[in-house]
Structure 1
Amino acid sequence: MTDVLGRAGDMDVSGVSGVSGRLGTYRARDGSAGAPVRIDLDGPHATLVVGKRGYGKSYTLGVLIEELAKTAGVTPVVADPMGAFRTFADVSGFDVVENPRVSADALSPRAWCELLGLDHEDSAGSLVWQAAAKTGSLAGMHEYVSGADVARATRRTARNHLALADSWGVFSPDGLAATDCVASATILDCSVYDDAPMNAVVRAIADDLYRSQVRESVATLPWLVVDEAHAFFDGIAGTALETILTRGRRPGVSFVAATQRPAALPDVAVSQSDLLVAHRLTSRGDREALARARPTYMHGSFADRMSETPGEALVVDDATENVHEIRIRERDVEHGGGSPSASEFANR
């Protein structure tokens, strides 16, 4: 018998009670490792991992990715904006997609206007909306705009915005779909992209994962894992991520977000998370953001209980309505999220 976070009560890890992943151990009062602790992977969850730089946020995310990849019936799809998970490229069962591309029609007309910073009620925005609604590729959108019977200035503005999107190199007729991403554990390495194209990829994939689950067209339960989540909630991907947060449980889409800036997330990203893994935070704004969204647990002693040791965390578990002190297990795959140092370069 062992505790499984995300479930009520002690659970048998033999599989009878559902699948789970090895997360680490409890932290004993003297700081030593206590009993093993696992995390539920059987049902859908919304998980938030927070912590200041250098205290294990991305490392913990890597542990979750490893456990998801080992578990039958679930598949992680990871949005990696920093290239922190490239080390999975040589691991069997993982597909690391560098510079992922999506099809233009994976974005709704409204999303296209949002992506390009156009008001859909203005002339240029309305034209782009029509082009996205009537064509299925970026080339088709260009052609539609060029042939539209509108003012020359409107065509020019719309063409210029579409040319900008084309320059990102993120749109392709044979771009990734949900079925591609769940064929194996998938890392979407977006590290070469700026915020806008990176958001376009995550918006398209998140929307498609949700729609595919609603249609029951994929034979696995996807877990969308997003590192540096504040960069996506603040962009056009935010709408799709909030949909999964608030409506993903029923069709079976799980979500894991990680950030060192919880204050930059919308309150719903914290309040809708049934598992919160909190590494050390020192910013008052970040602590207040957690307290505002989760007042039941974020009383004064919560911050005091945060460990100063990297790799240790507090877990708020809605299933048991408890706060647990844990130590994250060691990674199986080398961690790629650390920062370089001058001494490393000097010794080469």
Structure 2
Amino acid sequence: MDVLGRDGGKDGDEVCGRFGRYLAADRSLGARVGVDFSGPHAGVVVGKRGSGKSYTLGVLAEGLADTPGVAPVVVDPMGAFGGLGSAGVPVIEPRVRASALPPRAWCELLDLDPASPAGTLVWRAASEAETLDAMRAWVADADAAAAARRAAANHLALADSRGCFASDAPTAVDLLADGAVLDGTGLGTAALQAVVAATAAGLYQAAVDGMGGLPWLLVDEAHACASGAAAGAVDTLYTRGRAPGASVVLATQRPNALPETAISQSDLVVAHRLTSQRDVDALAATRPTYLSGSVGAKLPSRTGDALVVDDATETVCTVRVRERRTEHGGGSRVADCKEATD
């Protein structure tokens, strides 16, 4: 079996997960293809809605769940990954500790200028306090103008109402024990960004400290929840995660909305069907020299087929992604067209 992401490209003693089979120009299936899990990787999975990107992310998560020494942590905004519970990956509510967000991320999360009076108070509160309640108490007692304290308090109350902060939230080391699916279907965009920011920062630090297995952060709908307050922590995984062994894969239908480093620093790019020229251009802008010709012309048109750019072997191939073993929750609800009866 050929293995994507591995120098040499062949199956050996190192761990890998089944990914699919090569797809010929006439759509006939070829040899089996796997993905390397023996070391850290940075990747993206892109494709328009319904093209199979979330499904592909689930295939990666299944493989990681079966692999000793690695742990998938999936941020699931749409409820597409609940089936991973049957593979032994706990599905939990996403809760984070206030102290897991750095001061700058707090200001970005609350849309506050760090140099403004209210932004300065929130920054200092995040530096001094461990919990959201403690941050609010610190602001209330701060030696500052009443207007600044009131504005900062209102913003922190808004953060509290988003339902993602808890003083007893699991740590990154807790998540690495068995992996986790963070089911964020009930959270808004800002709350999801807080979850991604805290989780990405925690997993990176756990890898630096050598705590737990090698972390893999998988984020669906990344154009929304891996931006804003989460952008800095996600960028760290892409630019500095390789040395400590931390991996990251973002999935999105809008590659043009991803952070610049996401595609440029990825060693694995999995591209399903794209029809927006802006998205095709974003993918093509950082194409390697060994990807010749028009990227748009190479993209597959059938759901579940993917163009894979593998920087480890400097090759490009088309793959038919294998079927998932666990239930995929990423389908769309359809209208009930049965005739009404009296």
TM range, smaller chain: over 0.9
| Cα-Cα RMSD | 1.6
Decide whether aligned partners of structure 1 residues 266 and 297 sit closer, same or farther in structure 2, where only a CA change above 3 A counts.
Answer: farther
Equivalent of residue 23 in structure 2, options 23, 27, 30 = 27
Q: Deviations over 1:194-246 (max 9, x none)?
A: 11111111101110111111121x22000000111111343211110000000
Equivalent of residue 239 in structure 1, options 232, 243, 260 = 232
1:327 equivalent in structure 2: 320
Amino acid at match of 2:97: S
Counterpart-to-counterpart distance in 2, 1:345 and 1:33: 38
Counterpart-to-counterpart distance in 2, 1:310 and 1:101: 34
Give how far 1:346 is off.
7.5
Amino acid at match of 2:295: F
1:104 equivalent in structure 2: 98
* Alignment partner of 1:125 is 2:119: yes
1:68 equivalent in structure 2: 64
- Provide the aligned length of Structure 1 versus Structure 2: 340
Contact 1:76–1:222 (Cα < 8 Å) also in 2: yes
Q: Deviations over 1:57-103 (max 9, x none)?
A: 111111000000000010100011111112223x14110012x1111
Equivalent of residue 38 in structure 2, options 39, 42, 45 = 42
Alignment of 1:174-253 (within 5 A): 174-216=168-210, 218-253=211-246
2:4 equivalent in structure 1: 5
2:264 equivalent in structure 1: 271
Corresponding residue SS for 2:228? coil
Give how far 1:45 is off.
0.4
5+ unaligned residues in a row in structure 2: which ranges?
none
Contact 2:106–2:229 (Cα < 8 Å) also in 1: no
* Alignment partner of 1:317 is 2:310: yes
Amino acid at match of 2:181: I
5+ unaligned residues in a row in structure 1: which ranges?
none
1:82 equivalent in structure 2: 78
Counterpart-to-counterpart distance in 2, 1:9 and 1:256: 22
Amino acid at match of 1:209: L
Decide whether aligned partners of structure 1 residues 346 and 314 sit closer, same or farther in structure 2, where only a CA change above 3 A counts.
Answer: farther
Decide whether aligned partners of structure 1 residues 301 and 131 sit closer, same or farther in structure 2, where only a CA change above 3 A counts.
Answer: closer
Instruction: Provide the TM-score with structure 1 as the length reference.
Output: 0.94
Decide whether aligned partners of structure 1 residues 164 and 249 sit closer, same or farther in structure 2, where only a CA change above 3 A counts.
Answer: same
Decide whether aligned partners of structure 1 residues 344 and 273 sit closer, same or farther in structure 2, where only a CA change above 3 A counts.
Answer: farther
Contact 2:280–2:295 (Cα < 8 Å) also in 1: no
Instruction: Provide the TM-score with structure 2 as the length reference.
Output: 0.95
Give how far 1:337 is off.
0.4
Counterpart-to-counterpart distance in 1, 2:42 and 2:140: 44
Counterpart-to-counterpart distance in 2, 1:267 and 1:108: 22
2:336 equivalent in structure 1: 343
Give how far 1:168 is off.
1.1
Amino acid at match of 1:84: A
Decide whether aligned partners of structure 1 residues 129 and 336 sit closer, same or farther in structure 2, where only a CA change above 3 A counts.
Answer: same
Amino acid at match of 1:119: D
Equivalent of residue 151 in structure 1, options 128, 145, 155 = 145
- Report percent identity of matched pairs: 56
